[in-house]
Amino acid sequence: MTTGGGGGAGARGRLGRAGPGGSGRHFLLTFVCTGNTCRSPMAEAIARRIAARAGIATIRVGSAGTDAWPGQPASEGALRAASGAGLDLTSHRATLLTAEVVAASDLLLCMGRSHLRRVEELGGAQTARLLTEMAGAAGDVPDPFGGNQGVYDAAFAEIERMVRGVLTGADSARGRDAADKPAVYAVLGDPVAHSLSPTIHNAAFRAAGRNAHYIARRVSAGECGAVLRELALVGGGGNVTVPHKERVLPFLDRCTEAVEATGACNTFWAEGGHVWGDNTDVAGFLHSWKRLTADAGDDLDVLLLGAGGAARAVAFALLQCEEVGRIRVRNRSPERARALLRHFADPRIASAPPPPACAPDIVVNATSVGMNGRRSPLDLAALRQAPARVADLVYAPVLTPFCNQARTMGASAVDGREMLVRQAEAAYARWFGEPPPKGAMSRALD
């Protein structure tokens, strides 16, 4: 994964399975047809060339057939069609699609619905897609088997168009009529029904007159990466929320310094054929922090609740603030808290002692506890000394229990609505290269 200050920056990208700084294994893309002698080997060869030219250095490409006879060479028509385009299929030998092939693949692109059903039977329901649907088309990829050379050449050209679009995002409007169908943006998470992101982003799209639509999409751990890339490469983008902000990193080709520094991504889009990721939670939190701590003084002691993607954004932001003297991390999973400490390796950040020994100036809740409006991540009365200020990244229809307790105890408290808006404004700017209409998102929450 290449890092940079924004879209279009950086050199070669990486599509792998490791986070920043890790080696990881390659991302395996497998094309599936029936005999693995026509469509899928042509797609495999096309994808290899496109990936090499696009600088996606560690993607691996393979192919298999649902009814393949192992060891069979590519068909004569496929050989000639590929040769006419400068590709050599003489060394190709057919592979039978098995459960092992499915399990080893990160994404399986199927030529037809019968192939998709077979992949699903072999355990690949979360990682299989129709090539046509990924490319914004409908139906199956036509099978040239038994046709004349003209049929094979036409099939090759169509497969090349679709594979190029999926891998590089070229002609991103192919999956929709730009004059009629809106680009789709989504927040990916689980749970996600509570999210206000569709409300504020659709308000901004309407105010700006953009032909775009934003939805909340619940995705599992196995789905999130493939869905992210699909949305971005067909001309859309979106956001990532709990619990996937760290999990999606291997599916990015490029990332900003904020992603590299936090090990988490909350915003994605495609530019120049590469899928980009940013962490606009950092900018969103800093905006809220500055308002909350305008007269708080220096050498502040901060208690940070949580150790996930949001907590990493907060920690990174706090480490940039001169007024912060110490950050103490408390999380229900001690190992995750230790992982956060190892990630930043800064003397100002350490594990928090038990609540009775804590006397923080400010408490920041970066967990998801409280979004149902019934629970609080910490009983502030259990602290040795009540904090003067509280920031809750959670937002709810009414004031969260955490903020409500803080205000009852005389502390200043802000919930996550302002941060939501500020990070969303920064995400919008990443997608479109300009800020949203002023106040459009804030007014949508009134």
Question: What domains appear along the chain, each with residue ranges and CATH number?
Answer: 2-168 (3.40.50.2300), 175-278+422-444 (3.40.50.10860), 283-415 (3.40.50.720)
* Better-scored residue on pLDDT, 140 or 57: 140
Q: Are the CB atoms for 219 and 227 separated by under 8 Å?
A: yes
Q: Are the CB atoms for 253 and 14 separated by under 8 Å?
A: yes
In the predicted structure, residue 171 carries a pLDDT above the cut 80: no
Per-residue pLDDT tens for 146-157?
A: 899 999 999 999
Mean pLDDT of 176-185: 62
* Active-site annotation holds for 290: no
Picking from 306, 362, 300, the residue whose alpha carbon sits closest to that of residue 325 is 300
For residue 51, name the pLDDT band (cuts at 50, 70, 90).
confident
Using CA atoms, how far apart are residues 232 and 253, in angstroms rounded to an integer?
11
Mean pLDDT of the chain: 87
Per-residue pLDDT tens for 374-430?
A: 789 999 999 999 999 999 999 877 789 999 999 999 999 999 899 999 999 999 999
Catalytic hit among 181, 245, 290, 438: 245
Using CA atoms, how far apart are residues 359 and 370, in angstroms rounded to an integer?
22
In the predicted structure, residue 110 carries a pLDDT above the cut 50: yes
- In sequence order, what DSSP letters do the residues of 59-101 get, joined into one string? EEEEEEETT--TTPBPPHHHHHHHHHTT---TT-B--B--HHH
CB atoms under 10 Å from CB of 38, counted, come to: 29
Using CA atoms, how far apart are residues 330 and 308, in angstroms rounded to an integer?
11
Using CA atoms, how far apart are residues 114 and 97, in angstroms rounded to an integer?
13
Per-residue pLDDT tens for 89-108?
A: 999 999 999 999 998 888 89
Share of the chain above pLDDT 90, in %: 68
Kindly state the tokens that stand for 305: 């609740």
- pLDDT at site 271: 86
Per-residue pLDDT tens for 265-302?
A: 999 999 878 899 999 999 999 999 999 998 888 999 99
- pLDDT at site 17: 29
Q: Are the CB atoms for 331 and 377 separated by under 8 Å?
A: no
Picking from 353, 355, 327, 359, the residue whose alpha carbon sits closest to that of residue 340 is 327
- pLDDT at site 169: 54
Mean pLDDT of 310-320: 95
Least confident of 80-84, 108-112, 197-201, 394-398: 394-398
- pLDDT at site 289: 95
pTM metric for this prediction: 0.61
Least confident of 13-22, 134-143, 346-355: 13-22
**Side chain identity at 252, as an amino acid letter?**
L
- pLDDT at site 112: 95
- pLDDT at site 104: 85
Mean pLDDT of 71-81: 95
Most confident of the ranges 51-55, 77-81, 134-138, 369-373 = 77-81
In the predicted structure, residue 20 carries a pLDDT above the cut 90: no
Kindly state the tokens that stand for 271: 């530019």
Taking 3-state DSSP, the helix, strand and coil percentages for the chain, each rounded to the nearest 5, stand at 35, 20, 45
